[in-house]
Every structure is written in structure tokens, then in C-alpha cells.
Chains A and B, each alone.
Chain A
Amino acid sequence: MTFFAFTGAVEQGLVFGLMTLGVFITFRVLDFPDLTVDGSLPLGAAVSSILITKGLNPWLSLPPAMLAGFIAGMITGFLTTKLKILHLLASILTMTALYSINIKVMGGRPNIALINSPTVFEPVRQFLISLDLNPWLTSSLLFLVLVSIVVGIMIWLLRTEFGQALLATGDNPGMITSLGVNTHFTIVVGVGLSNALVALCGALVAQNQGASEISMGVGTIVAGLASIVIGETIFGTRYLIVRVISAVLGSIFYRLAIALALSFNFFNPSDLNLITAILVVVALCTPKIKAHLRNRGYRSNA
């Protein structure tokens, strides 16, 4: 793997770390497999891009992108809690609807180029140049700062009363209802927050690659899940703080693993989905295989 491929993978890992944190809220905190993210990532990209092309400051395009993601997540939450549609199916429905909506948001086109538009990276680049620093790591630095802030907010949030209610909703909804929490509310807000982060990720990815594009969300959920599982396998699941941070680190390792796989000429970029799927299967099975081997050890000792 070249050095350039390495730094590129870290940069991707950091920005998709925001998406992974979003997926962490649904998959791990709420125990809610949410496929909305495949649609809310391009939604964030579309909202941010269209606002930038209309002349809005790229930084100011981020909150509307997050709001759009939040609403998308809330719709999935609403379909699940109030209309009693199975969570997996509800999220697929929202994701499907978002395909049409994203094209509408982008003014009827499947993509928007941002090559000559201002982005959030420009002021950071100027700042680095003014400090006589080489600006080639601009995006990585900005992503590192943003993802650190989000990690901090998430650790704080999950330890508040509201965050604890979110965790309890995922762990034992019957119990937390008997303690006075409306789980419909926690699920709707939780899935909303998750998709707000995913949309933020989409907006930043679009600005970084210079375009938003309708199909950029394909495979988001699998990548997010792979990142979480890789992080958990390496760093364990005992402490909440570790789990949140390892979601981001897992995202970086995931992108590095892909960069490494692609650096062998044996693989084509189109093999990516196959590699990812195999990676997730292996990562999901590892704890079970470990436990199986441990138990066999006990048996042979007995």
C-alpha cells in the first residue's frame, strides 16, 4: 500500500466515522437495525450541495443537512412505533422513498458537481497556509476535529438521564416503560439523531470528493456495521467510552483493510462489496468461534 493510499484511507475512516457513530446509536444503543442510512447519507450530501450551489456558506449548509437526516430518521421511527411496521422494513421503506426525494432535492438530477464551489475545507486550508504548514492533510485534520467533537458529545449524551433512557430502551424496553419512559419517543429521537450524523457525514463526503451523487449511499449500513464490529473485536465492549471511540477507530481500520485489499492487483474495485461482506461475516463470527474454542478446551480438560 502506498503512503498516499494509507493517508487516504485514514481520511475516509475519519469522515465515515461520523456515519459509524450514527449507526452505533441505532444498532448498538437502540438495538434497532436501521437501513435508512443508505438513503440519509446521500440526503445530507444532496441538501448540503444544493444549498452551496445556491450560494450558501458551506458551513451553514451542514445544519440543514443534519436536520434533513434527523427528519428521515424520525419517519422511520414513526413507522416503527406508531404504525407498528417491522423496524427493518420501515427503514427500507424510508430508504426507498429517499431515493426519489434525493433526486428532487438535487433539482431532478442524479448528481451535483461542487468542483468550483466553496467548501468547508477552504478556510481550514487558508489557515494552515497562514501558519506556514503544508495543507495536504487539510481534510483529515478537519475530520479529526469534527469526529472528536461528536465523540465527546456522544459520550456526554449517553451518560445523561436521556442517554441512559436510550440505552435502556435498546436493552429492555418493557422494563424502561415500567419506569416511566415513553419508548416511542426515545426510538423516534434516537433514530433521528443517528440519521442526522449520517447526513452530516454525507454532506462532508460530498464536499470532500467535489460532488454529491445519488448512489453514494449504497452499502453505508454494511460499512457502518463492519466498522463497529471491527472496533468491538479489537477493543472489547466492556466500557461505553471505549465502545464509542472504538466505533471511529473501527471505521479507520475498515478503510485501511479495504485499501490494503485493493493494493493487491488481484482485486478490482468492484470486488469491494464482496470483500466487505466477507469481512463482516468473519468479524461477526469471531466472538462465537473464540467461545467455541474456549468451551472445547474446557471439555478436553475435564
Chain B
Amino acid sequence: MATAPMLKASGLIKYFNRGTINEVKALNGLDLNVAPGEYICIIGSNGSGKSTLMGCISGTSPPDYGRTVLDQQDITYWPEHKRAGLIGRVFQDPLAGTCASMTIEENMALALRRGQRRGFRRGVGNQERAKFREALARLELGLENRLTDPVGLLSGGQRQSLTLLMATLIKPKLLLLDEHTAALDPKTAGLIMELTCSLVDRNQLTTLMITHNMQQAISFGHRLIMMHQGRIILDFNQTDKARLTVRDLIQQFHSAAPDLSGLLSDRLVLG
């Protein structure tokens, strides 16, 4: 590819409980290049290293070896709060991405200042309210009329929608979605995926999405990656992915990771 990658992770190695009897090598020399605007789905069974990879990129648990370069900046040793200026994140727990005791507009104002210095200007500007109202109206959840309601009054699905909106309020270089529909009921999960796609499309966001749902992984995004034992074992581009079915995917998984045959979890298939 001619353009420089937006994210370039090389040789990532991450141990947990290193030097003890419980030592786990969660990432085993992982390499990943993500082109600008690429939307990648990541699947893999439990313990394959998906979330560890997210942790290495977001800075919550930096790798033991390897480098992470985001938008041509080496962020390997940046603390988590410094990376936040470049990265938007949505978590699995729908309550994790918002402050329950603060109002909708306060939460959005916090997100609008992602990565900026926070001084003694007004926490919620008057002009910002109009912007928030407009962005909320696009969710079609009626939240635009509830700007001063505490977020704690919203449902899990509403809070996850709000978190998504907040993560993209100022365009991130990279959007990290860590199983962000896994804790929602199927209908709400569908709505959140729709919202995800429209936000990613509209803003041309470079996105990494972890999912346990194979159908979701096949239907959405430009590229599909399967992880196993801390490495990427399968990597489908958009054309390959278009022909893929869940059955193919499972077959490919078995041939790529024969040691795990029969251990494939129901959750991986059923989501």
C-alpha cells in the first residue's frame, strides 16, 4: 500500500505473571498494519490475546517488547491519558464509558475536550450545547431533549450509544471497540452496530473492533483478523471476506489451529 499505515504494531510481546508458575504469553510477537480508514474486525477464542492487543494499543497495559506507531508517532511508551488524544474507545460494559452522576451535556463536554488541556474555562460552553443537541438528534433516541438529565437515568443501550457518539465527537486517529455490543440484548446490539457503521462511514474512521460474534465479524468492516495464542492466524481482505460464511470461518479456524479442534467455544459461533 502506498500510503503510510495509520497504526503499525510490530513484534508485540506481552507476558502476564512473568517469572511465576502462572506465566502466560498473551501476545507472541504480533505484527499488525492498519491502513488509514480501514475498519477491521478481530475475532478469536477466549485467551487468544484480542483484549491484550487492545490494552497494548490503548496504553492500559503496554507490551513488554515491540513497538506501537500511531499516525507516525511512536506511542509505545506514552501513558494512557496521553494516547487518549489520538484514540477513541468504547468498552464492553455499557456503563464504563460515561459518568452516571454527571449530565448528558457534561459527559459530552468531557469527551469534546479529549486530549486537550483542561483549564478554568466553562466546563460546558453555551455554543457547544447546540452541537450536542444536533449530534444526539441523529441517534433518534430522544436524548436531545434530555441534555441536563444525569446519565445514570439512561438504559444500557442508550449509554452505549452515547459512549460511541462521545468517542467520535472529535475525530480519533483510531477507534477501539472492545466487544462493545456483547453485554446488550440482540435488538439493542443490532442498533449499536448500525450506529457504529454509520459513524465509522461518515467520519472515515480507522477502526479496530473486537467481537465474539462471527456473523458480525463477517458482515461488518473491510478486513477480518482471527487471533490465536497471541498471534494473527487468519487475515481476510475485503474481497475474501465478502465470500466468507460462518461455516468457512470455522473450518479455516480448525485447519489453522488444529490444537484447538473441538475446543471451539459455543460463544465464538453463536455470539
**Chain A residues close to B by CB (< 8 Å):** 157, 159-165, 167-168, 171-172, 174-183
Alpha-carbon gap, A157 to B87, bound state (A): 28
- Contact for B99 among A161, A167, A183, CB less than 8 A: A167
B119 to chain A: which residues have CB within 8 Å?
Answer: 160-162
| Residue in contact with B120 in the complex, picked from A162, A175, A176, A177, CB distance below 8 Å | A162
A190 to B59, CA, bound (A): 24
A157–B106 Cα distance when bound, in Å, is 14
Interface residues on B, range: 20 to 34
- Shortest A46–chain B CB gap in Å is 31
B118 in contact with A171 (CB, 8 Å): no
Q: Is the interface of B mostly helix, strand, loop or mixed?
A: loop
The reply to whether the CB of B5 lies closer than 8 angstroms to some CB of chain A is no
Asked if B98 and A172 make an inter-chain contact with CB atoms under 8 angstroms apart, the answer reads: yes
The residue on A at minimum CB distance from B89 is A178
Nearest Cβ in chain B — how far from A174, in angstroms?
A: 6
| Chain A positions within 8 Å of B111 at CB level | 179
Give the residue of B84, B97, B100, B120 whose beta carbon is less than 8 angstroms from that of A180: B84
**B120 and A161 within 8 A (CB):** yes
Contact B96 A172 (CB under 8 A): yes
Question: Contact between B101 and A167 (Cβ–Cβ < 8 Å)?
Answer: yes
B130 CB to closest chain A CB, in angstroms? 19
Chain B residue at minimum C-beta to C-beta distance from A159:
B123
A164's contact among B96, B97, B98, B109, by CB below 8 Å, is which?
B109
Closest Cβ neighbor of B82 among chain A residues: A180
**B27: shortest Cβ distance to chain A, in Å?**
21
Instruction: Give bound CA distance, A175 to B99, whole Å.
Output: 8
A167–B96 CA distance with the chains assembled, in angstroms: 15
- B98-137 residues with Cβ-Cβ distance < 8 A to A are 98-102, 106, 109-111, 113-116, 118-124
Q: Which of A159, A168, A183 is the most central at the interface, judged by chain B CB atoms within 10 Å of its CB?
A: A168
Contact of A179 among B84, B102, B122 (CB under 8 A): B84
Query: Given A171-B102, A175-B96, are A161 and B79 also a contact pair (CB < 8 Å)?
Result: no
